Structure 1
C-alpha cells in the first residue's frame, strides 16, 4: 500500500469512524450502482486491505441487518447482502449533495421563518439554519417544507458583513470549515501521488476511493451549501470539492476494474458496471 494511503488509514482510525459506517459508504458509492447485492466475501477482501478482520466485518454486517439497513440472502454457505429500503432512501437523498452539489444563486436576502419546534427536522433537512430559537433562515428562494407551511415568513439581510455574520450564527460554519481543512490536509498527499503518476493497485484504488467518499460524505452532509456571498472569505469547501473530484476521477478506473473482477451476486455472476459513477462530480 502506498505511503499516502497508509497516512489516510491512520487519519481514519483517529476519527470516530466505525466499520459499519464504511460499509454504508461502499454500498452507496460502489455497490448500489451495480445492482445493490454483493457477496460477503467481496466485502471481506476489501476490508482486509484496511486491516479489518473478517470477524469484525461479519459482526458489523449482522448489526446493520438487525437495524434494518441491510437485507441478507443465503445461497448454500455463502451470504449476500443488499441495502434495505431504509438504506437506499438514505443514500439516494444524499447522492446529489455528495456528487453534484450546487449552491443556490444568491437572491440578495435570506428568507426568514418563525416556525414551531415540530417543523425543526424538516427545516434542517431542507437546508434551513437557526440563528435563534424558533427562527429559521435560508437563502432567498429555497423551498419551504410543507411542515412549515403555516410559519410567518419575512425577508432578512443587510450588507455583506451582516449577511456573513447572520449565516455564521445560523449554521455551524466554523466547525464545518475546520473539518474541510482537515480533509484537505489528509487527502492532499494522495492527490499529489495519483496526479503525479504514482501507480496504485486496483484494490488500493478502491480503498482510496471509498475512504475519500467516506470522509467527504461525513462533512458535506452537514454543509448547508450556501452561496459564496454569505460564506467566510477563506471558506475551504470549494477546494475540498475540487480535490475530491480530482482524486475520485483518478481512482475510478482502477477501482471499477477491481469490482469487475471481484464483486459477484447470488448467481455468482460479476456485478454489472454502471455508467452513473462516471458522471459523478461532472455537474
Structure 2
C-alpha cells in the first residue's frame, strides 16, 4: 500500500486506538510489522520511534535482546484527552457560562507563549482578542494542568462569566471560530466516507475483505477523523449553526468504526501476540462498543 501519512502520526494513531488497551507496550518488531501494512519501512519506523522518545512521548525497555516501547505519562494523558473527544457522538449541552483565560507572558518566555497557544487551540479555545481566550466548555481541569505544566501561575487569570453584550452569542462564536470552514471539512468527510462505508460493510458481510484490509481501513479512518481534534472546538449544540454537520460526521465515524472493529482487532492481535505473548488485553476494553461511544448513547436515552 502507498504510504499516505507520516510514520510518527501513524504510530500515535496505533497507540491511541490499539496499543494503550494492551498493556500500553509493544515490541518494536510488532510495530514495524503493523506499519508495513501502510507502506512504512523498518528504517522510518525506528527513526520515528527515536524522535518520539526524545520528545517525551515514548519510553523504552529492554527484555533480552528485544526493545519494547510504551507511552510515557505525558503520552497517556494526551491519548486520554483525545479519546474523550474523538469518540463523542454529539456535541455537549451548555451551562450558559463562558470560561475566559487572559495571560501576559513576558517576551523572554515567548517559547512558552507559542506552545500555550497551540495547546489552547487544541483544547477548543477561541481567540477573542490579544492574549484573551474563551470557551463555553468546562475545561477547568485542562487549564489548571496547562498552568502547572508551563509554570505560568504568575502570568495568568482565569474567569467564569456570563456574556452580557454587546453582541449576541452567535456573533461571539463567529468572531472566535470559523465554523463555516470547519463545517465544509465535515461535509467533505461525509462525502468521502459514506460510500466507502457502504461498500466495505457489504464486503465484510460477504467475506470479501481481509482482516488486514479492515485493520488498515479502521486505522486510516481514525487517523483521518482525528484531524478534527485540531480544528473543531467542540462547541455546545446551543452555539452551533442549524446546518452543522459535526454530529452527522461523528455518527458516520462511529458506525464505520464498529463495522471494521472485529476483523481489524483480530488482525492486530495476530501480529501483537507473536511479539508480546505475556501482555494481556485490558478487561474493560470492548473494541465493538468503545466505552466513550457507549456513554454518549446512554446519556441520550
Range class of TM-score, shorter chain: 0.7 to 0.9
Give the number of aligned pairs: 269
- Relative to structure 1, the CA distance from residue 164 to residue 37 in structure 2 (aligned partners, 3 Å threshold; closer, same or farther) is same
The separation in 1 between residues aligned to 2:101 and 2:62, in whole angstroms, is 52
Are 1:20 and 2:17 matched, yes or no?
no
5 Å-filtered alignment, 1:1-283, equals 13=4, 17-100=5-88, 103-107=91-95, 109-111=96-98, 113=100, 115-118=102-105, 127-139=124-136, 143=140, 145=143, 150-151=157-158, 154-156=161-163, 162-198=168-204, 199-264=208-273, 268-269=277-278, 271-272=280-281, 274-278=283-287, 279-280=289-290, 281-282=293-294, 283=296
Structure 2: unaligned runs, 5 residues or longer: 106-112, 148-152, 297-301
SS at match of 1:264: helix
> Does the aligned pair in 1 maintain the 2:122–2:230 contact within 8 Å?
no
Match of 2:150 in 1: none
Q: Rate the CA distance shift 1:272–1:229 in 2: closer, same or farther, 3 A.
A: closer
**Root mean square deviation of aligned Cα:** 3.2
CA distance in 2, matches of 1:273, 1:141: 29
Conserved in 1, the CA contact under 8 Å of 2:98 and 2:162?
A: yes
Larger displacement relative to structure 2 (133-142 or 20-29):
133-142
Shift of 1:30: 0.3
1:141-174: CA deviations, max 9, x gaps?
Answer: 7648456985565422679x94323212112423
Post-superposition CA distance 1:258-277 (Å, at most 9, x none): 12222038763364365424
Match of 1:3 in 2: none
C-alpha spacing 1:140/1:99, structure 2 compared with 1 (3 Å): closer
> CA 1:58/1:236 → structure 2, altered by over 3 Å: closer, same or farther?
same
- Displacement of 1:50: 1.3
Aligned in 2, Cα 1:141/1:114: closer, same or farther, shift over 3 Å? closer
Find the aligned partners of 2:101 and 2:121 in 1 and give their Cα distance. 14
**Offset of residue 237 of structure 1:** 0.8
- Structure 1 residues 54-63 or 264-273, which shifts more? 264-273
* CA shift in 2, pair 1:153/1:51, >3 Å: closer
In the alignment, is the contact (CA less than 8 A) between 1:20 and 1:61 conserved in 2?
yes
Determine helix, strand or coil for the equivalent of 2:51: helix
Residue 194 of structure 1 deviates from its aligned partner by 2.7
